[in-house]
Amino acid sequence: MQDLLGFVMAGFALAGSPGPNTLSLAATGAAFGARRGLAYMTGLNLGMVAVMAITASGVIGVLFAVPGAAPAITAAAAGYFVYLAWRIATAPPLDDGTGDRRQPSFLAGVLLSLVNPKAYAAMAALFSGFVLVGGSAGLDVAAKIAVLFLVIGTVNIAWLVTGAALTRLFRDPRTSRLVNVGFALLLLASVTFAVAF
């Protein structure tokens, strides 16, 4: 029970801290509202299940062992995050025509989780640092995925709702630009931190 409590606390700390997934989710909530961000959040959640499976299986370790793979993967992920930060920073302020703008999709959420370096680092720390079910690696991995799915779901709902609470700030063009640029810079900083450390 003590291992489970430690695992849950570490899960909340790692999954709940600002990073690409959480910051983009808050920006989505702020720009489109919580209800319109649910598909994106679901994509992020299911993408994280894939990240957990990839991490637990050791596939990511094998992939990074291929000569030249690590820099290519890092460059592709960095390019995607720069593009995402640009889209956030240059998003127009909300107005009465906001309903015509397209919110991030389910697939965009899955893709973001799959290229998120913080996600892999956090999952590697959680999967290697705790044992929830002794004597069975398969049951241990399944238990960790189930617990982390609940933790990540809870964290993501909180970030989406928090972002939605900021919606009124996005109606003023000047404030909207400042908040958007702030989210974009935080996104880039979180990716830089995850890659550097």
Comparing 5-9, 60-64, 137-141, which segment has the lowest mean pLDDT?
60-64
Question: What value does the mean pLDDT of the chain take?
Answer: 84
Residue 190 has pLDDT above 90, yes or no: no
Comparing 44-48, 104-108, 121-125, which segment has the lowest mean pLDDT?
121-125
Instruction: Select from 14, 42, 10, 18 the least CA-distant residue to 162.
Output: 18
Residue percentage of the chain with pLDDT more than 90? 36
- The amino acid present at 77, given as its one-letter code, is A
Average pLDDT on 139-153 reads 96
Residues 6+ apart with CB under 8 A from 127: 52, 55, 56, 141, 144
- In the chain, where the domains are located: 2-196
Residues 6+ apart with CB under 8 A from 140: 131, 132, 133, 134
Please check whether residue 187 is in contact with residue 20, taking contact to mean a CB–CB distance below 8 angstroms.
Answer: yes
pLDDT given at position 196: 65
Instruction: Select from 176, 42, 31 the least CA-distant residue to 108.
Output: 42
Alpha-carbon distance values, 81 to 13, 69, 73, 152 (Å):
22, 18, 12, 21
pLDDT given at position 96: 46
Of 31-45, 86-100, 156-170, 177-191, which one has max mean pLDDT?
31-45
pLDDT given at position 195: 62
Q: How far apart are the first and last CA of the chain?
A: 31
Instruction: Assign 178 a pLDDT band (cuts: 50, 70, 90).
Output: confident
